């Protein structure tokens, strides 16, 4: 394996584990709120549209995030697109709640997830 292929594999693995494990951890935390009180990130406008308690909604979000992380770890290309779309949707919801700084962070992470999809293409072409 060439030095370029080794570097590509290393970078791919860093992003794959980042975008695989972080959604799983964040998803699990929706049930415990150990890292953060997630309800504070849910805009009042969205809360008013929910037919159930905000915490119930966030547990559903947690399940989706766990699934997305697992998909990234197993089917990296499609999983990275799912995580990218999910992060963009979160950013839009954060903008609706006036949390522009956090929305920008999520958009940057979405770009990272897109980068993972592109690295997956390159990795598949070199194998």
| List of residues 6+ apart from 7 with CB closer than 8 A | none
Where are the strands (E) in 4-97, listed by range?
A: none
pLDDT per residue as tens digits for the range 3-55 = 988 999 999 999 999 999 999 999 999 999 999 999 988 888 889 999 999 99
pLDDT value of position 2: 87
Q: Does 127 have pLDDT greater than 70?
A: no
Q: Does 84 have pLDDT greater than 70?
A: yes
Q: Does 102 have pLDDT greater than 80?
A: yes
* Structure-token match 């080794």, residue found: 6
Taking residues 57-82, what's their average pLDDT? Answer: 97
Residues 114 and 119: their CA atoms lie apart, in Å, by 9
Of 98, 86, 91, 93, give the one whose Cα is nearest residue 62: 86
């Amino acid at each position: 394996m060439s030095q370029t292929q080794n570097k590509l594999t290393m970078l791919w693995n860093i992003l794959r584990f980042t975008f695989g494990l972080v959604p799983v951890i964040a998803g699990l935390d929706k049930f415990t709120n150990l890292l953060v009180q997630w309800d504070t990130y849910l805009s009042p406008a969205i809360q008013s549209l929910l037919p159930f308690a905000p915490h119930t909604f966030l547990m559903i979000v947690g399940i989706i995030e766990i699934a997305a992380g697992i998909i990234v770890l197993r089917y990296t290309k499609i999983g990275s697109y799912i995580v990218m779309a999910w992060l963009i949707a979160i950013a839009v919801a954060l903008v609706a709640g006036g949390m522009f700084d956090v929305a920008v962070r999520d958009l940057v992470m979405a770009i990272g997830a897109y980068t993972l999809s592109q690295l997956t293409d390159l990795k598949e072409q070199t194998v």
